[in-house]
Amino acid sequence: MEIFISIASYQDPLLETTIKSAYYQADNPENLRFGICDQSSFPLDINSISFGSQVSYEHVEPSLSQGPCWARSKVQKFFNNETYYLQIDSHMQFEKGWDSYMLSYFSKIEKEGHEHHQPPIITCYPRGFEIVDFDKKEFALLTDDTSTFTLNFREDSIFCNGPYSAQITSMTNTEITHGYLIAAGCLFTSGSFVKDVPYDQSLYFYGEELSIALRAFTRGYGIYHIPSTPIYHLYTDTSDLKRKLHWDEDEDSSRTIKWHEREKMSINRLIDLINNKIDGKYGLGNKRTLKDFEYLAGVDLIERKVINKEKAFSSNFLSSLAWNKEIFHN
């Protein structure tokens, strides 16, 4: 019953606190296995971490990094048939007992959910946390909102870069809901995901989340949202601790292929996926169709049109669906 935790990190001073929070806040830390691609100027000393034997670690010089999806792909090579797969960012905090909570919901959906929506993927943009004192490793979790949040397209950024659209959360009063979009920085699913939907390192950043959502969805995976996900993300850092980004000019200056060139190739790769021009493991699956996805999402990805605003931009339609029933009847 091991959980593989995938972390791709870029110049992130919060990487070590993320790993330790996941470990020390787990009910069963002995069942955790970490895979880390650390793209940084200063590698972590894994041997100094008490549970270092549970960490598979690769250090990459930032100038050699090819982007987030490339790094997540490298992490997946550490996967060793663990039962479950958790993919997170490198600036996260965890509530006590987070592993039991996620496993409980996964088991409930797996047992009570419809057979045509399996295995489950539990995903969200998590609640945030704030840095109180980094030197003392003090953080404040923003726990107030315990609602379930779906993921939808952001109306002011729909098809803002070819087929790419920004994503946003929408609140619902339903405990468990179906979904159609995935948050790459917080997804919990079966370990089979790594073999069924391996990361496409041809992608850069834009297109990452829609690509894995389409590929998982068309392979029969069920996308779900649950309340009070016990994992927290640093969205806005108001401290003096500033994290460098892959596309910062200073970071990108020594690279042969610049970030904007990789971004253009990434968007073209997403276009090819949508138009079913990619065969094999990086292409669409055969258990559901692109039309099935578009029905649920209220968009036409090929024509880049919004067909149903309520489906595309709010949680209303997803909330109206019984999470444990089949949602396609054709």
d(CA 138, CA 133): 5
Does residue 330 carry a pLDDT above 60?
no
d(CA 178, CA 320): 9
Tens of pLDDT, residue by residue over 135-161, are 999 999 999 999 999 999 999 999 999
In 206-315, which ranges are continuous DSSP H helix? 208-217, 249-252, 259-274, 290-297, 309-313
* Average pLDDT across the chain, whole number: 95
pLDDT tier at 14, thresholds 50, 70, 90: very high
Does residue 326 carry a pLDDT above 60?
yes
Tens of pLDDT, residue by residue over 75-114, are 999 999 999 999 999 999 999 999 999 999 999 999 999 9
Please check whether residue 143 is in contact with residue 245, taking contact to mean a CB–CB distance below 8 angstroms: no
Does residue 320 carry a pLDDT above 80?
yes
Res 224: pLDDT: 97
Tens of pLDDT, residue by residue over 252-311, are 888 999 989 999 999 999 999 999 999 999 999 999 999 999 999 999 999 999 999 999
Please check whether residue 89 is in contact with residue 233, taking contact to mean a CB–CB distance below 8 angstroms: yes
Does residue 225 carry a pLDDT above 70?
yes
Q: Residue 147 is encoded by which pair of tokens?
A: 């609602």
E-strand ranges in 148-294 read: 148-153, 167-172, 177-178, 186-190, 222-225, 231-233
Q: 326 vs 32, which has greater pLDDT?
A: 32
Three-class SS state of 87:
strand
Per CATH, the number for 3-320 is 3.90.550.10
Domain map (residue ranges) of the chain = 3-320
Q: What is the rounded average pLDDT of the residues 6-34?
A: 97
Tens of pLDDT, residue by residue over 152-193, are 999 999 999 999 999 999 999 899 999 999 999 999 999 999
pLDDT tier at 243, thresholds 50, 70, 90: confident
Which region among 121-125, 228-232, 325-329 has the lowest average model confidence (pLDDT)? 325-329
Res 248: pLDDT: 86
In 11-61, which ranges are continuous DSSP H helix? 15-24
Res 239: pLDDT: 67
pLDDT tier at 244, thresholds 50, 70, 90: confident
